[in-house]
A and B are shown apart, each in its own frame.
Chain A
Amino acid sequence: MCMVEVQNIKKSFGEVLAVDNASFKVKRGELLGLLGPSGCGKTTLLRIISGLINPDQGVIFMDGKVVTALPPEKRPTSLVFQNYALFPHLSVFENIAFGLRIKKLPMKEIRKEVQNILEIVGLLGTENRSIRQLSGGQQQRIALARALVMKPSVLLLDEPLSNLDAKLRLETRLYIQKVQKALGITSIFVTHDQEEALSISDRIVIMNKGKIVQIGTPEGIYSKPNSKFTAYFIGKSNILSGNIRSDRRGNGLFTLASGQVLRVKSDIKTGTKCSLVIRPEYIQLLDEAKESENNNIFVGWVEHITYLGEVTYYRIRLEGNETLLVSEYGCGVSKKLIGEKVFISWPISAGLVL
């Protein structure tokens, strides 16, 4: 049975519809990522789940019970705030102990719990420090500790990494995943960084303009985005617009605006206007055209090169003036130059029609 179920949640602020009919389930012990661009409603949704915001419509279940009307203090959730929200006038110990004191646990037990959680987050010995004395990364872990020590059924994290510098972000996201798996707490975290979501989530819920666009595992979403938006948002994509029709053999033929025809695999009806999505990594750069059953091959010119060490991105301009992004990894770098004429090729099956 799932731990959290969100059903038809709707929330407006004035005339603006922040969350539009959102529904999804969170499995027990799962690390779920809520992903989307700024203003898509993900933070609002998280706060609704935490109880800080009242939805206009919809129901929230936790562990089978309806919690929609419960205030945050009565829900089995703990929220790690984006700005950590650590109490500046309390020490590290008191911050973590705050919720335990409310539960009226005996002092001995509180001390034990705090020690324990500090050990887990690797900050033993900081009990008496004031919050201001901690670095950003340390504060984040204390915020996490404070949430975890409450032994919540559901852990919520609001953009936990956005206030950290790049290097720390990488370390910390793995760290969060590690702790979550170790403790087995059902967790939902919000982020706008798709790389972050892809790397640690068990499943991802993608939102855009208040609506849930796609739910799935990282692999599933990456390989089979269900909309232009998802394709665009997750990873890098090439998106081409055009029309589709079937040929006699049952293959799809995708006609670009410029007239070029690509072969695709698709069940979409003839005549519809749609988009073709190809990930850059599926495209190869060839020196010469080769006829292929399974690949689309076109001619193009190198317009721009981005060298990033382990990967190089080429922007290729096709005859019809469309551009494609091609990526090449590490050793097989073909070392093309700008203006060079190349042939690009990708397997038909790699093209996704939406």
Chain B
Amino acid sequence: MIFGKQIIHKSKYIPAILLSPGLLILTLGYFIPLIMLFVISFYKGVPGSGLMVEEFTTGNYLRLFDAYYVEVLLRTFKIAIYTTILSLLLGYPVALVIARSSGKIKSILLAIVLVPLLTNVVARTLGLMIILGRHGPVNQLLDLLGVPKINFIPGELGIIVGLTQVFMPYMILSISSVLSNIDFSLEGAARDLGSSKFGAFWKVTFPLSMSGIVAGSLFVFLLSFSSYVTPRLLGGGKVMVITMLIYQQAMLLLNWPFAAAVAVILLILSIVLVTLYTKATTSNKLIDTTVYGDFQKNHFSFQDFFRKINDWRYDRITATGLAIDVLTQKSALIRVLATLGLYFGKFFIKTWKIFIVLFIIVPLPLVILSSFSASSMITFPPTGFSIKWYTGIFERMEYVRSFLLSLRLSLLCVLISVSVGTLASLALARYNFRGREIIRSVFLSPLMLPAVIVGLALLRFLASIRWVATFQGILLAHLILTTAYVIRTVSSSLVGFDNSLEEAARDLGASAFYTLRKVTLPLIKPGLIVAAIFAFIVSFDETTVSIFITGGRTITLPVRIFSQLEYGLDPTVTAISSLLILMAVIALFIIGEVFGLDKFSIK
């Protein structure tokens, strides 16, 4: 309600104050490097050499109008969209189960979803390569059933499946937190009014969970679009996506000006997309706008346009739901079919849900199994039994050191980005100022830009201030990414926040700060926890950007693992990953006990 935003504040600059720490971090770690990148994009590259001719040229941009590059961009786009849709289809049922369960079951389910996120991306992808490979268990099963083998990898299909496996947990978490707040008795009420079970879900629960779907889709899409490791490994080098193109140009051909041009185009595209998406999906229909709505005059504004799209969408959903109701009531045949379908459907859905859950976690047991293999290769099934890989870790002090460094880095990252990000989210949610949506997209854009570019830009910038291979340099890089996650997560939990609670607090004598402390923060605590977990995971697992800017004493654990893998498949990686999985499980258990995972709700 717009009234909530009319709280008296002495200074009109409160939004600016709240946003400034976040903007400061972004400026240092993001804007300045990007500006440098923008400048480079107009230089001429020297083929094969890392030197650049500092003459102005638009050649790099003109080169991009080639049909080939457009094709690569579209292909990347397509993969990301399919991944998002698949994640939604598979993830929603799981999220539903999680939201409707409670207590221990809920905690276990949530843990299952979260643990893969804490495992190193490379290890997970390798696990997938084994499963989906031409001789992997999936194809072996198909063989048994007499079905022709599916060529998952290398290829686009494998990439989509792989990206879904990797990023679906984000979708599940986003949706389940929103679903947790939906009163399922609302569905009961709808059924009472004559709606079928599916109709009730479709008309009531589904639209209300929209904000979770939106947040989840945004995450998954952005992550898939800018993913490098997974498409690289699962595409087998045959499928060219935009991130690989950038890597090739920047790292292998050292054609930085061109790579920079691609990056700039990507950046502009992402900001536009994210802005449009956020505007279109900030649905006002689901939020009370009674009194102010009467005041609004009808002149054209983007808000109105997008609201119309939303209303149309909402009406489509309602209409579909009605149609479903009518159908089931009118025709006896359809009723019979529906009942049959329901029985089969229930069974099917139950087993299907199990499959989805298995899909999420299966690479993990694989990794753990391999870590006990005696052979120095990662195969399936593993051969022999040995714990030498585990003992080997402790002989390698560098692993322990990297682990401690990563831990310190991530914890500090969480502290800073959750504080800074929450302040920024409050500014974006509470105050309506010019350019608000643009600033929101700007905060989110680090997620969209391929890590390769962020790493490159940062490398050049940090080198100029001698911060390469320093703790603060890496911290800065991680902060940009984690703050983006925090803002996205906390913002979605502020969406449904009842502003009148803050007004009530002020009315009872609370200062703005007291209100924040005693009312706002406690109520968004679940959202803060999710944000903190996300931030930790992002920092702890961050590989691509870190590769550029770590060095010497400051090598983070994932970089160490990745550099290990690049050279030879030493199962020490699997041993480390197994330990990380164990650590993740313990950490989640602790969080669950202290905060109560089963009370996982963002609202």
Direct A–B contact present (CB less than 8 angstroms): yes
Please tell me if the beta carbons of A89 and B522 are within 8 angstroms of each other in the complex: yes
Q: How far is the CB of B88 from chain A (nearest CB, A)?
A: 30
Please tell me if the beta carbons of A99 and B508 are within 8 angstroms of each other in the complex: yes
Please tell me if the beta carbons of A53 and B500 are within 8 angstroms of each other in the complex: no
- Contacts A79-B504, A81-B504: A99 and B509 contacting too (C-beta < 8 A)? yes
Q: In the bound complex, how far is the Cα of B510 from the Cα of A51, in angstroms?
A: 13
Please tell me if the beta carbons of A89 and B498 are within 8 angstroms of each other in the complex: no
Q: Which of B1-60 contact A (CB under 8 A)?
A: 2-3, 6-10
- Contacts A13-B292, A89-B523: A71 and B508 contacting too (C-beta < 8 A)? no
Please tell me if the beta carbons of A146 and B297 are within 8 angstroms of each other in the complex: no
Please tell me if the beta carbons of B3 and A52 are within 8 angstroms of each other in the complex: yes
* Contact among B8, B291, B500, B518 with A39 in the assembled complex (CB-CB below 8 Å): B291
Please give the number of chain A residues whose Cβ is less than 8 angstroms from any Cβ of chain B in the complex: 34
Which B residues fall within an 8 A CB radius of A? Answer: 2-3, 6-10, 290-292, 294-297, 498, 500-501, 503-511, 514, 518-519, 522-523
- Contacts A16-B296, A51-B8: A85 and B504 contacting too (C-beta < 8 A)? yes
Please tell me if the beta carbons of B501 and A87 are within 8 angstroms of each other in the complex: yes
In this complex, the member of B290, B291, B505, B507 whose beta carbon has the largest number of chain A beta carbons within 10 angstroms is B507
The interface bits of chain A over 79-123 (1 if a CB of B lies within 8 angstroms of the residue's CB, else 0) are 101010111110000000011001100000000000000000000
A309: Cβ under 8 A from any B Cβ: no
A38: Cβ under 8 A from any B Cβ: yes
* Contact among B7, B294, B511, B514 with A52 in the assembled complex (CB-CB below 8 Å): B7
Q: In the bound complex, how far is the Cα of B506 from the Cα of A78, in angstroms?
A: 10
B510 and chain A: residue at smallest CB distance: A102
Point out the residues of chain B lying under 8 angstroms from A83, CB to CB: 498, 500
Point out the residues of chain B lying under 8 angstroms from A85, CB to CB: 498, 500-501, 503-504
- Contacts A54-B6, A85-B501: A16 and B507 contacting too (C-beta < 8 A)? no
Q: How far is the CB of A177 from chain B (nearest CB, A)?
A: 22
Point out the residues of chain B lying under 8 angstroms from A237, CB to CB: none
Which A residues fall within an 8 A CB radius of B? Answer: 13-16, 18, 38-39, 43-44, 47, 50-54, 71-73, 77-79, 81, 83, 85-89, 98-99, 102-103, 146, 150
Point out the residues of chain A lying under 8 angstroms from B518, CB to CB: 98
* Contact among B8, B501, B522 with A72 in the assembled complex (CB-CB below 8 Å): B8
A50 and chain B: residue at smallest CB distance: B507
> Which secondary structure dominates chain B's binding surface?
helix
Point out the residues of chain A lying under 8 angstroms from B290, CB to CB: 38
- Contacts A43-B291, A88-B523, A89-B522: A52 and B508 contacting too (C-beta < 8 A)? no
Point out the residues of chain B lying under 8 angstroms from A53, CB to CB: 3, 6, 8
B295 and chain A: residue at smallest CB distance: A16
Q: In the bound complex, how far is the Cα of B502 from the Cα of A88, in angstroms?
A: 12
Q: Identify 22 residue pairs between A and B in the complex whose beta-carbon atoms are under 8 Å apart, listed by A's number.
A: A16-B295, A16-B297, A39-B294, A44-B291, A51-B506, A52-B506, A52-B507, A53-B3, A54-B6, A71-B10, A73-B506, A73-B511, A79-B507, A87-B504, A88-B523, A89-B522, A89-B523, A99-B508, A102-B509, A146-B504, A146-B508, A150-B508
Which 6 pairs, one residue from A and one from B, show the smallest C-beta to C-beta distance? A99-B508, A85-B504, A39-B294, A85-B500, A16-B295, A102-B509
Q: How far is the CB of B371 from chain A (nearest CB, A)?
A: 44
Q: In the bound complex, how far is the Cα of B510 from the Cα of A53, in angstroms?
A: 16
Q: How far is the CB of B265 from chain A (nearest CB, A)?
A: 37
Point out the residues of chain A lying under 8 angstroms from B498, CB to CB: 83, 85
- Contacts A43-B291, A47-B6: A71 and B523 contacting too (C-beta < 8 A)? no
* Further contacts, 20 of them, CB under 8 A, given A89-B522, A98-B508: A13-B2, A16-B297, A38-B290, A38-B294, A47-B6, A51-B8, A54-B6, A71-B9, A79-B503, A81-B500, A83-B498, A83-B500, A85-B501, A87-B504, A88-B501, A89-B523, A98-B505, A99-B508, A102-B514, A150-B509
- Contacts A52-B503, A85-B501: A71 and B291 contacting too (C-beta < 8 A)? no
A74 and chain B: residue at smallest CB distance: B509
* Contact among B3, B295, B505, B509 with A47 in the assembled complex (CB-CB below 8 Å): B3
Please tell me if the beta carbons of A72 and B296 are within 8 angstroms of each other in the complex: no
A39 and chain B: residue at smallest CB distance: B294
Q: How far is the CB of B409 from chain A (nearest CB, A)?
A: 33
Q: In the bound complex, how far is the Cα of B515 from the Cα of A102, in angstroms?
A: 10
Q: In the bound complex, how far is the Cα of B524 from the Cα of A88, in angstroms?
A: 12
Point out the residues of chain B lying under 8 angstroms from A51, CB to CB: 8, 506-507
Point out the residues of chain B lying under 8 angstroms from A73, CB to CB: 506-511
